[in-house]
A and B are shown apart, each in its own frame.
Chain A
Amino acid sequence: MDGDPSQDVVHASVIFLVDAKLVLLQPTKDNEGALKYDMRIIASNVEYYAFIRDQGICRNTAETPHPMSALEETGTDDIRTEGAIHDSLWFFNGSGIQCWTDTQELLKSASLESQKETAQPISIPVDFYPTAIALRSGVVIGLEPELVQRRDTQFAFFRSSIRVRWPAALWTLETKAE
């Protein structure tokens, strides 16, 4: 029955992060109708991933106060209804942020019935360690260690400073959503 939460486990495609690999398990039914999973590695060297749909930021825009929302009167609802980024999957692989804008397309291309190769993610190179992807603001936020030397101390120390990157790819995705 559609919409029945107890049947979610039958229809769900599970994504695991095992060591540094992003593994996709897609449910299929074999000849006898039993549930089986097709396993596929969709990414390697993954430090961490972020699945935007889990974060709930785009679903109820009225409930999540955001500093930008005071300036924007319209447009926040459009992200929810259009869903261009709402279903995206992001991960950091050490050299940059990779993003599949539509997880459904990724699942389709990764299924064993598909003849094509797995969909390629969009790549956003960063030269700092990204810690958050702020979708509403369209920026990637991260940290970079700085080595600080002071004349009044005899030691040097590292300090983390915040870096922000405005990737052009992200702005293109946002304008597509509106």
Chain B
Amino acid sequence: MTPTGENSLLIYTFDNNLYHYIISSSKPSVQLVQVGQIGLHGIVRAPTRVRAVTWYIPEYQLCT
């Protein structure tokens, strides 16, 4: 699990999926909204050996 960007959270799970959440802080509560998911079966063969994860989003895709 790692925070990334301005308000995003990446969570990598034991079942080899990477989930992308946005932290939305609309009052009065803070919520996690899932906005994306990447299935990594066949790409990452040993999910228990993954120690950390992050990602790079190109500039054209980032909200400015």
- Chain A interface residues toward B at CB < 8 A: 2-3, 5-9, 11-19, 25, 37, 39, 48-49, 51, 53-54, 56, 59, 87, 103-104, 107
Give the interface residue-count category, chain B: 20 to 34
Instruction: Identify which of B22, B46, B53 contacts A14 (C-beta below 8 A).
Output: B53
* A3-B61, A11-B58, A25-B43 known; A16+B22 contact, CB < 8 A: no
- Chain B interface residues toward A at CB < 8 A: 2-6, 8, 18, 20, 22, 35-38, 43-44, 46, 49-64
Question: Does the CB pair B46–A18 fall under 8 Å?
Answer: yes
Shortest Cβ gap from A8 to chain B (Å) = 6
Question: Does the CB pair B51–A17 fall under 8 Å?
Answer: yes
Shortest Cβ gap from A178 to chain B (Å) = 20
Which residues of chain A are near B3, meaning CB under 8 Å?
Answer: 54
